[in-house]
Structure 1
Amino acid sequence: MLGSCQDVSDVKENHDMPKQIHLSGFMMFSPASHIPLSWIHPDKKIVHRWYEPQYWESVANTLERGGFDMLFLGDSLHGGNTPDQIRYAIQFPVHDPVALVTYLSATVKKLGFAVTMSTTFSPVFSLARTLSTLDHLTQGRVGWNIVASFGTGEARNFGLDDLPPHDERYDRADEYMRACYALWDSWEDNAMVMDMGQQVFADPAMVHRVDFNGRWYKTQGPFTVVPSPRRRPFLFQAGRSERGKTFAAKHADGIFSVARGWRQMRTFCDDIAGRAERNGRDPMSIPILWAAAPLVASSEAQARERYDEIRSRIPLEASLAQMSAHWDIDLSKFDIDCSVSGLDVPGIKGLFEIYSKTDPDITLREIAKTYLSGGDRNPFVGTPTQVADAMQSFLEDGGGNGFQITPSYYAPEYYADLVELLVPVLKQRGIYRDNYVGTTLREHLTGKG
């Protein structure tokens, strides 16, 4: 069966053509990612040491054992703006994901990684340099989740009074990407000669200044990192706003999105396809991964019992604090039984609009109840066969290529359950890889080097 925000009747049976499913783990370098209080272990004696390397080694090794494409690390540059966000660890505290990827990439050899970095607060030369270095160190297993930032708290942490307006942030991000491309492409092929006899490291005629002079960003060059065989990381984007989708269709190699059911998925995929074609791109070349939080157990009753237990332990105020963090608005000031229609959300508009555009009369209380279990993340609940049925149907009917999976309980055990229970069923159906066939993140996701 499906989680409470999904209706079994909403899943169509259409398994004629097996579709390969991609799986990715989604976490933050934080006590919990998107599901409140998921840092609490059922055995209260076990301390959740999310800040220690052994914890993350366990997660990465499990994901690699299960053939996951990557560990996708979200990030937030602010948090703890309300007492409840601090009390319940609502995406707070958050450590630096770049440092974590650098460490983990040496502990596993196949698993890819995606790291979230902001175009609004990262100097363009510095970010391009960091990602190129990671591309070398991971041998092509790194991706960049491009964000333009959303929280006023982020601006104030970086010495600004406020963020630029939403659409301007994307205008800036578009220029930012052009500056990154200029830096990454400033070395010609074979510029690094390494001729010891002639004592020539690189041909000066093949290493160029970029002299990028945009409205918001300027960088001179030459770039100080030698190009990797790939030249740039795999680029992700997750915006659902109109500007976010336009940006993704232009720049993204892969897209991460949220949808409440396969119909929203289909609408989004068709929209992205049209935008990609208008940018001269093949929509089929852009993999789309959907947020999900599947919960599997050997029996449906056991899965439902655990699902209900997770929901029951999360106070409503923790869910509202999560929504406040995502939407960048203090919801404690509002009547939670009033409709959200007309609510001005300055934060992540996509995480608001998947509710408000579907049901303008929905209340904050009703949304908060779905947030209790990651309601924007398709919480498939049931036996491995039931969950595999639902995931397969959603992709066949809604489109897309796989799922970005957030743990709803202690991550090392959560992912181990998926690898041991769900992955074998997907493999038996011929819709999931038996082994990695390539070595880079691009090969994992697209089959191309």
Structure 2
Amino acid sequence: GKLDMFFFADLWIGGMRDESIRYAIQFPIQDPCILVPHMAAHTRHLGFAITMSTTFYPPYMLARLLATLDHVTKGRIGWNIVSSIAEEEAAKFGVSLPPHDERYDRADEFMEVCYGLWDSWDEDALLMDMENGIFADPSKIHRLDYAGKYYQVQGPLTVIPSPQRRPYLFQAGASERGRDFAARHAECIFAAASGVRQMRAFCDDIAARAEANGRDPASIKILWGAQPLVAHSESEARARQVEIRERIPLEASLALMSGHFNYDLSTLDIDAPVGGLKVPGSQGMLEIYTKANPNVTLRQIAGSYLSGSDKGPMIGTPGQVADYLQYLLAEGGGDGFQITPSYYAPDYFNDLVRDLIPVLQARGAFRNGYEGKTLRDLLNGPGNRESMGKRPFRSKDFARR
């Protein structure tokens, strides 16, 4: 299918509710850092994006692990930066979850540490001089003495600079603080919106925040969450959508939503409007539904949360769906889509690769082959190394010597 990457939406929240265990909702979850090397060994171009939390990982450990994975995958690793949203996750580490904005303050420092570690080797530090027996030039490998409010870290990183020098950076924060963080650090943002107006507003907002942080808005890619469903006819596609929806227990969908929102939805009336509901978790995801319809109920949201929307041209023939995807990008902005398969449609990707992607390829809207070698090549274009080895956001709060 010539897809960009396989994305692991990893988290430590699974198994806390009976429904998540009963219906295998985000449970069980294996460690993607172990799975990726095996997958990379059997692929040549596919990238791998791993979700890792700045709240629970020590920054040196994460920087070292991702640099190592970038070596193992030959430059195909990406990091989806999260600060975590659930007390259930924190409980697994025996700690309390910091307040929302403090988590992002910590994450800003975390990123500065990682940038400093990944930059601790100069480009020409590695000599590999076999004749004189010299491995590297010590004067070009720098100690990091980071002293911030939350982290005190020394360097240098003990890993040779990897093919990308640092992983491709993703982020998906939808809150005001999350968008500020993305505008400072992300190379690509995972976003969700209900229609072109929300899409355009989000793109404009990120562009303004990027400029305020001294960045070119064009340097930040935006991928929209989408769950297209294709079949040979529109009626067949809609019939399949009904079939998928009928397979999904209401409790399973509510369990997934409870995890994403960090809120026990079983305590609420599922038939009451939730337009004013505030949740400690992903408020932005909830507002995709409530901004489109302030009177929407939990039952209505749950009906499409696992199966995708039953309305609009995201469901239909390959040509109809291709038309709509192209329309969304043309009118709403952004750079592509993050495709989320239905939990209850095991052949989902086979259908997209066989039926939808060839239509997009024939229109020149999707690649026919891979160019470049790294994940950054795939997403930015081969040879576009403007951000390679450079921090999108720099601080003077640490010393390098």
| TM-score (structure 2 length as normaliser) | 0.92
Q: Is the 8 A contact 1:291 1:377 kept in 2?
A: no
Residue 21 (structure 1) aligns with: none
Q: Distance in 2 between matches of 1:250 and 1:188?
A: 23
Given the alignment of the two structures, is residue 128 of structure 1 paired with residue 63 of structure 2, yes or no?
Answer: yes
2:356 and 2:109 map into 1 onto residues whose CA distance is 42
**2:45 equivalent among 110, 133, 149:** 110
Counterpart mapping for 1:213-252 below 5 A = 213-252=147-186
Aligned to 1:67: 2
In structure 2, the partner of 1:101 is 36
Structure 2 vs 1, CA of residues 318 and 409 (structure 1 numbering), >3 Å: closer, same or farther? closer
**Larger CA deviation: 115-124 vs 433-442:** 433-442
State the SS of the aligned residue for 1:442: helix
| Structure 1 ranges of 4+ moved more than 6 A | 376-379
User: Could you list the per-position Cα deviations for residues 288-335 of structure 1 after superposition, in whole angstroms to 9, with x for gaps in the alignment?
Assistant: 111111111112122111111001111222211111111111111111
Give the residue type in structure 1 aligned to 2:63: A
- Among candidates 417, 428, 439, match of residue 351 of structure 2: 417
Q: Distance in 2 between matches of 1:205 and 1:74?
A: 40
Give the partner amino acid of 1:245: R
Residue by residue over 1:156-195, the C-alpha shift from the partner in whole angstroms, topping out at 9 and shown as x without a partner, is 00011x2100111011101100000000001112111111
Correspondence 1:254 to 2:163: no
Deviation string for 1:81-106 (max 9, x for gaps)?
22112111111111111111121111
Q: Which sections of structure 1, spanning at least 5 residues, go unmatched?
A: 1-65
Could you say what secondary structure the match of 1:145 adopts? strand
Partner of 1:288: helix, strand, or coil? strand
| Secondary structure of residue in 1 paired with 2:20 | helix
Distance of 2:206 and 2:54 partners within structure 1: 22
In structure 2, the residue matched to 1:49 is: none
Higher relative contact order structure (alpha carbons within 8 Å, sequence separation ≥ 6)? 1
Supply the AA of the counterpart residue of 1:374.
Answer: G
Gaps of 5+ in 2: 386-401
Q: Which residue of 1 aligns with 2:398?
A: none
Measure, in 1, the Cα distance between the counterparts of 2:282 and 2:309. Answer: 16
Shift in Å at residue 371 of structure 1?
1.3
Which residue matches 1:406?
340
Aligned mate of 1:345, from 279, 284, 294: 279
Contact 2:86 2:281 (8 Å CA) reproduced: yes
Which amino acid is 2:299 matched to?
A: R
Structure 2 contact 274–296 (Cα < 8 Å) conserved: yes
Q: CA separation in 2, counterparts of 1:239 and 1:409? A: 23
Identify the residue that residue 12 of structure 2 maps to in structure 1: 77
**1:413 positional shift:** 2.5
Q: 1:372-383 residue pairs with structure 2 within 5 A?
A: 372-375=306-309, 380-383=314-317
- 2:252 and 2:312 map into 1 onto residues whose CA distance is 20
The structural deviation recorded for 1:374 is 3.3
- In 2, distance between residues paired with 1:267 and 1:302? 34
Shift in Å, 1:222: 1.8
Deviations 1:186-233, CA, capped at 9 Å, x for gaps = 111211111122221111111111011111112111210011242101
Q: Which amino acid aligns with 2:301?
A: I
2:115 is matched with which residue? 181
Change (3 A) 1:301 1:358: closer
Q: 1:97 to 1:221 in 2, by over 3 A?
A: same
Paired residue type of 1:328 = N
| Partner SS for 1:211 | strand
The residue identity in structure 1 corresponding to 2:281 is G
Residue correspondence of structure 1 range 164-175 to structure 2 within 5 A: 164-175=98-109
Q: CA RMSD in A?
A: 1.7
For the pair 1:319 / 2:262, whether they are aligned, the reply is no
* 1:360 CA displacement: 3.0
Aligned residues: 383
